[in-house]
Structure 1
Amino acid sequence: MGPRRRPHRAGAVRRHRPGRGRTHRLPPARHPKAWAVRGDLRQPDSYLPQLAEHLDLGEPVAVLATAVLDHLPDDAQATAILGRIAGELVDGSYLALTHVAPETTPGRRDQQNDALRLYERTPTPITPRTTNQITAVLGASWTPLPPGVTNPDRWLPEPDDDGPLCPPSLLATIARRTPHPYTGGQTPAD
């Protein structure tokens, strides 16, 4: 018998993990300004209106897309979602993104293929993408900052590092919302 669940308390923050059917509660006392919205990444209209209730989208914001785009197998769908999110934000907004990349060594490639086969049995399989594929998914809406889409170890490397901290199959970038060409950087609705 598993642990007994307590009912949801007013003010508690719940985090939803798509495809897993669970939410996690963060105590509001430890996170007084924390809030969460529930939605499906694939359906921006399920969460963008809720964001506007909590954030002033007329000001720059940061979007964290860590370990989520890997679960969208369709490149065009991922590009459309990132474009839709960018369309709600003003110039000066940023996107931080991490993504699984294909392994390059035979031994690690075998391990990755085993893990990918496990994820194929879930509602959210993983699609590794190369640097060029991730750059293409960013589309015209997001411009990667230097050093671009790369392994996180290439971002602000320490001169005395003993070696890589991140596996070579992890890529990351920080991208700035590309200014809208007709509005001087503001969203068309502004």
Structure 2
Amino acid sequence: MTRQADWIPDSLDIGRPSTARMYDYILGGGHNLEADRILVDKMLAVQPEMRRIAFMNRAFLRRAVLFMVNAGIRQFLDLGSGIPTVGNVHEIAQAADPQCRVVYVDNEPVAVAHTQLLLRDNDRATVVHADITEPQVVLTAEETTTMLDFDRPVGVLAVTIGHHVGPERNPSAVFARYREAVVSGSYLAITHVTYDFDSESSEELRSVARTQINVFPRTGAEIAEFFGDFELVEPGLVSTSQWRPDRGDDVATDPKQDAFYAGVARKP
């Protein structure tokens, strides 16, 4: 009998796809399972740009973190962080300033287990095993309160997570609670799936997104509400590749190649 990889918890249902592991597979990572690869390959057959979309989203994360560091942010709360792969938040931030602190949050057991392994020698980064739709649990977790000082500005990252929060979980209230928890000068970065750029997107792809990985695309107006009274920095809420691109290959020639809205906003 084949030995199960040590990053897979014994309780895990290996036959069920996971969005965290699917994203890892799309980005070329090694912490994914057959069920994840089958579903991703099925979606790629319908939407060949999906891999590029993921890389554009990852490139936005890098730019947003560096923007916040340059704005004076030295502590980050990464909601729905997923399975660590190249270009993690703590790698980006601590390369710019080793004093940066990071708290990752995810409810995927594999993501949490692998993050713990990755951070075992890093005393300025940690992970909280929690559902981001329970802000009080996240914000009061020992790992969070030990690592972050909420009397000082925090960079809150909600990258590729909002569209996994269904209407029954009241995403507006979830985002409002995180906004309330941070002081003036803090930032919030969001990327979120939309069909605004591709209203003719395949119904097959939409069906898979709805039924198998619980994705809830929203309009630009709906996503903008998640920023509340935070002030969007230039260029506002745009497609991922259009948010302050700093490399030629970061820019998509057609917003359909992004499929995500992206924005960064500052708390007055």
Which bracket does the TM-score occupy, shorter chain normalised? 0.7 to 0.9
Instruction: Output the TM-score relative to the length of structure 1.
Output: 0.72
Structure 1: how far apart are the matches of 2:135 and 2:250?
A: 42
TM-aligned CA distance change 1:155 to 1:46, over 3 Å: same
1:139 counterpart residue number: 228
**Quick check: which has more Rg, 1 or 2?**
1
1:42 to 122, 133, 147: 133
1:155 counterpart residue number: 243
Over residues 97-118 of structure 1, what are the superposed CA-to-partner deviations in whole Å (9 max), with x where a residue is unaligned? 1111104263xx01xx333322
Confirm or deny: 8 A CA contact 2:105 2:138 kept in the other structure. no
Structure 1: how far apart are the matches of 2:135 and 2:265?
A: 19
TM-aligned CA distance change 1:137 to 1:5, over 3 Å: same
1:116 to 175, 192, 206: 206
1:27 to 94, 118, 122: 118
CA root-mean-square deviation: 3.2
Over residues 124-175 of structure 1, what are the superposed CA-to-partner deviations in whole Å (9 max), with x where a residue is unaligned? 51111121111123223x2221211111222224596695177241110001
Confirm or deny: 8 A CA contact 1:63 1:94 kept in the other structure. yes
Structure 2: how far apart are the matches of 1:48 and 1:116?
A: 33
Confirm or deny: 8 A CA contact 2:190 2:262 kept in the other structure. yes
Query: Which SS does the other structure have where 2:170 is aligned?
Result: helix
Confirm or deny: 8 A CA contact 1:16 1:24 kept in the other structure. no
Offset at residue 29 of structure 1 (A):
5.2
Instruction: Output the TM-score relative to the length of structure 2.
Output: 0.53
Query: Which SS does the other structure have where 1:47 is aligned?
Result: helix
2:218 counterpart residue number: 129
2:147 to 39, 50, 54: 54
Over residues 28-77 of structure 1, what are the superposed CA-to-partner deviations in whole Å (9 max), with x where a residue is unaligned? 35644220112111111111012222211000010110111001122981
Gaps of 5+ in 2: 10-103
Confirm or deny: 8 A CA contact 2:162 2:171 kept in the other structure. yes
Gaps of 5+ in 1: 9-14, 180-190
Kindly provide the amino acid, as one letter, of the partner of residue 143 in structure 1. Answer: E
Whether 1:104 aligns to 2:192 is no
TM-aligned CA distance change 1:3 to 1:76, over 3 Å: closer
1:11 counterpart residue number: none
TM-aligned CA distance change 1:67 to 1:160, over 3 Å: closer
In the alignment of these two chains, the number of paired residues is 166
% same residue:
24
Structure 2: how far apart are the matches of 1:33 and 1:56?
A: 12
2:28 counterpart residue number: none
2:266 counterpart residue number: 176
Structure 1: how far apart are the matches of 2:207 and 2:106?
A: 20
Confirm or deny: 8 A CA contact 2:109 2:129 kept in the other structure. no
Kindly provide the amino acid, as one letter, of the partner of residue 118 in structure 2. Answer: P
Kindly provide the amino acid, as one letter, of the partner of residue 242 in structure 2. Answer: R
Confirm or deny: 8 A CA contact 1:94 1:176 kept in the other structure. yes
